[in-house]
Structure 1
């Protein structure tokens, strides 16, 4: 059974640095077509053309108990009594294809695998997987893409494994899906049309649509507290100052209890720090140049200085999740996916375990500001081909894989064949069999996935708590500059921000001061920051022109 949250936690790692693709741009896609020239760092090539995006046409097979609000995740408090059949007949025509995907787990057998056989039958194609270790997937991708004849028909590329100069290579290897899916053309594939526009934007390169998305959620991160362990009468904070008081009140060193793990994510949300760039009037400024960033650093330094952070978190050692779940700390920042994972670990041994997300607040007690999370964590791409009807057939297969919660197809893709890979318990929840352990691993979901819903009804109250919190936070969410754009920065600027990232930790822990930040920002500007600003400024101006068309 898949755990989307587990994958989300893996995405928090830094983008992998993989081998160069110097040969790719000089190679054809294996279809007899000439290579397409697409300089990856020319600002004009970074603009996503709105007219090339698929239309958004929501489809609902079953009604959620907790509808989404302004893009927040919908939730189901119970499993439907029956599942809807989205495809009475398989849409494919029996074509044979290969697919390359990552996997963080034991690779299942592909021969005689009843799970693969059942999903392939539902799609109406014969799809053979080439599964690679997710931890070394970036290296595998670099090697494969450098030799286009070895590229599978359908290739998954996680956002953190995008190879250097991919913007130059994508048009020489993979199919431009714009003619198939742009605008109302996507309506030929209703479940693909159900994927929100933002997710598609993440799969665009050089103004064209090349990928099929793995959608994310509106918000990825939250600050959690142990509701079952807070002293009686403790009031949750309402601004930055009361947050400091709140944290200070929770630390009891004699009881081996500290208030929190590192709360830098909390600080950036509390002060509304932009992910990368923002406009101040007509001026484009980097996040490290903003007052919000300085205020967040000053606040987190106070948190450390008052002794609210566990010593192991100060030293960046140990397991923060274990500290939180054992009660050594009562507050922690984490990806939202970590919430249900903790419930799964703790409720069987501690039925009173209760972690809750902090309400989203602003430092001054006013209107908070959050920024949209990445709308797609990965995209998959279809190799160029001269085979008539192949792209249409693969897109029809993708339409099956995008079947949303409440359909028989979703149940099959995520849980396998009933009676073979799972049985249903008294709550109609799938219980994996021994056969599932042998044959099932997340595979098809990495090719394309429907919008996320929360249906983890096995945890009492969790779905309502989760969806209510996100719905309340949704109005505070803003779209950052350049959101959803696949922008390839000039290579010479790749590492100029690293010294400031390192400095953040030193300032938080009192080893450096904001005066050191001033010097570091000046160095950043002289080392290429101002040139990078000019690069983004040109993209910004071109965006304005595109929006005015």
Structure 2
């Protein structure tokens, strides 16, 4: 329901494997927080001299049934009737366009065996020759491809060190094509929200085009509302941590292998306690979430849940697939995930069985409201490699087609394929055929329109997702203040620092270490690189 098809292939764990997530507590720059020792890298430019971001001109060809606000998604109960065209003619020039992107699903059949892919090539007027790389291998493949200097025309950019220098050396500066009003030549690219574009800015120039997900990547706690209501309980009424704890005790039936929680809800409790979203900025100074005193309260709360036996006993060993299946199967009744998981859970439950879910509200720890943590606006960034300067406008026109917004005619072709063989219409809603399910080409990790809430199988799913997202957007929602700033130290050491902190946190919850040891962990984080990361981010943010 980021669109129903698109969301089925994306998961938070997949993003982490690829290294394209900005959730780590030491990160400052989000998904492309690569760094450089060069003085003209991302961020350290006076505001008056910064490159103008592309103008934002939202698509108005489809009116939503449910209007979003403050970054929450619009909702559509049905695909719009008589979808308008967002592109005039075929954008290609007859020559092939090579590309490489990460995939989080089995590779689609090649174009020679994939009618939907062939149909899309016809609509584009250029053949897309795509390298589909499994996500765990993508960063290594990206680095190898760069080193071999044999780049496809278009690439999803991997998270590697010294990224601003790499972008300048290997990719085309797109500033003159996209900055300010220039982007209006490509109206579907102008439909990308302004807050996502800084992810593609390096060396004070636009080198990348973002694929935006925004709030769809934000984490929530889902609950099996059908099973909970059958017990005479209502998870939607919790108003504090004490309420959550009481609910979890009532839901747990370990003798019958049912536990309230799949894993300790660490991020949720941090939001209940109004902790920083990675960093807190006050008077030009940054404080990391690791350092605030509320972190020990999170530990105490998680220890309480763990000792009470309301968390699945294998919680610290479960992978994301096991966690999801336990939740779908009713062995755990509360499970974390991002908004994209909402429709995926509905699709994956066994047909003919009772299934419903909702997401918990976000109260303050002791009452009132918590603070919702917004995910970074951009999901990934793609660039055009050097050597393709004479085809930049053609490639951008093709990119513009593939970024066609929900509700347009081109969106159906890009996402669903050809009407008839690949999908049929139920009213105005596309329904995939067996061939359409088998033969697709989803380029959404590299290029996609902004997401909407859309689940035509059940309008209540769309309505509930939209309502919860809209409510969270108005629940003291905060963004990481250091988003899209850079730190060389974070690039080199951030991942390992976070891994150590996570390990220490989990050891304390399970009783292998004491809460008093957390202060030692924080001190080690600071001396091991955390303080240097802070200094570098503050320097980047101080440019006026």
TM-score, length of structure 1 as denominator length: 0.87
* 2:191 alignment partner, one of 190, 194, 208: 194
Aligned counterparts of 2:252 and 2:243: Cα–Cα separation in 1: 15
Corresponding residue SS for 1:101: strand
- Per-residue deviation, 1:387: 4.9
Corresponding residue SS for 1:496: helix
* 1:216 alignment partner, one of 213, 229, 247: 213
Aligned counterparts of 1:342 and 1:97: Cα–Cα separation in 2: 36
Name the counterpart of 1:498: 499
- Spell out the pairing of 1:150-169 with structure 2 (5 A cutoff): 150-157=150-157, 161-169=158-166
Conserved? CA contact 1:215–1:376, under 8 Å: yes
Name the counterpart of 1:52: 52
Aligned counterparts of 1:500 and 1:135: Cα–Cα separation in 2: 23
Aligned counterparts of 1:225 and 1:200: Cα–Cα separation in 2: 34
Name the counterpart of 2:30: none
* 2:324 alignment partner, one of 321, 325, 334: 321
- Spell out the pairing of 1:192-341 with structure 2 (5 A cutoff): 192-219=189-216, 220-230=218-228, 231-234=231-234, 236-262=237-263, 263-313=265-315, 316=318, 319-341=322-344
Name the counterpart of 2:26: none
Say which is worse superposed, 106-115 or 67-76, in terms of deviation: 106-115
Conserved? CA contact 2:172–2:389, under 8 Å: no
Structure 1 pair 464–39 and aligned structure 2 pair: CA distance change class (3 A): closer
- Per-residue deviation, 1:102: 2.7
Name the counterpart of 2:470: 471
Structure 1 pair 186–142 and aligned structure 2 pair: CA distance change class (3 A): same
Aligned counterparts of 2:500 and 2:241: Cα–Cα separation in 1: 27
- Per-residue deviation, 1:177: 1.1
* 2:36 alignment partner, one of 19, 31, 40: 40
- Per-residue deviation, 1:52: 3.1
Name the counterpart of 2:112: 111
* 1:375 alignment partner, one of 377, 383, 392: 377
Structure 1 pair 490–309 and aligned structure 2 pair: CA distance change class (3 A): closer
Structure 1 pair 486–75 and aligned structure 2 pair: CA distance change class (3 A): farther
Conserved? CA contact 1:265–1:333, under 8 Å: no
Aligned counterparts of 2:408 and 2:505: Cα–Cα separation in 1: 47
Structure 1 pair 241–173 and aligned structure 2 pair: CA distance change class (3 A): same
Aligned counterparts of 2:131 and 2:17: Cα–Cα separation in 1: 25
Structure 1 pair 418–113 and aligned structure 2 pair: CA distance change class (3 A): same
Aligned counterparts of 2:233 and 2:128: Cα–Cα separation in 1: 58
Conserved? CA contact 2:489–2:529, under 8 Å: no
Conserved? CA contact 1:56–1:194, under 8 Å: yes
Aligned counterparts of 1:441 and 1:92: Cα–Cα separation in 2: 18
- Per-residue deviation, 1:384: 1.8
Name the counterpart of 1:412: 413
Corresponding residue SS for 1:90: coil
Name the counterpart of 1:20: none
Say which is worse superposed, 173-182 or 255-264, in terms of deviation: 255-264
**Alignment deviations for residues 131-157 of structure 1 (CA, whole Å, 9 cap, x no partner):** 333332222111111122x10111122
Conserved? CA contact 2:201–2:208, under 8 Å: yes
Corresponding residue SS for 1:192: helix
Structure 1 pair 486–375 and aligned structure 2 pair: CA distance change class (3 A): farther
TM-score, length of structure 2 as denominator length: 0.88
Which protein has greater RCO, CA pairs closer than 8 Å, 6+ apart? 2
- Per-residue deviation, 1:130: 2.8
Name the counterpart of 1:7: 10
**Alignment deviations for residues 8-31 of structure 1 (CA, whole Å, 9 cap, x no partner):** 3443434549xxxxxxxxxxxxxx
Name the counterpart of 1:34: none
Corresponding residue SS for 2:41: helix
Residue 175 (1) aligns with residue 176 (2): no
Name the counterpart of 1:28: none
Name the counterpart of 2:361: 359
- Per-residue deviation, 1:417: 0.7
**Alignment deviations for residues 426-453 of structure 1 (CA, whole Å, 9 cap, x no partner):** 563322233x35542323x333211001
- Per-residue deviation, 1:273: 2.9
Corresponding residue SS for 2:542: helix
| RMSD after superposition | 2.5
Corresponding residue SS for 1:108: coil
Conserved? CA contact 1:9–1:338, under 8 Å: no
- Per-residue deviation, 1:6: 2.7
Conserved? CA contact 1:6–1:337, under 8 Å: no
Name the counterpart of 1:89: 89
Structure 1 pair 441–147 and aligned structure 2 pair: CA distance change class (3 A): same
- Per-residue deviation, 1:422: 2.1
Aligned counterparts of 1:227 and 1:386: Cα–Cα separation in 2: 53
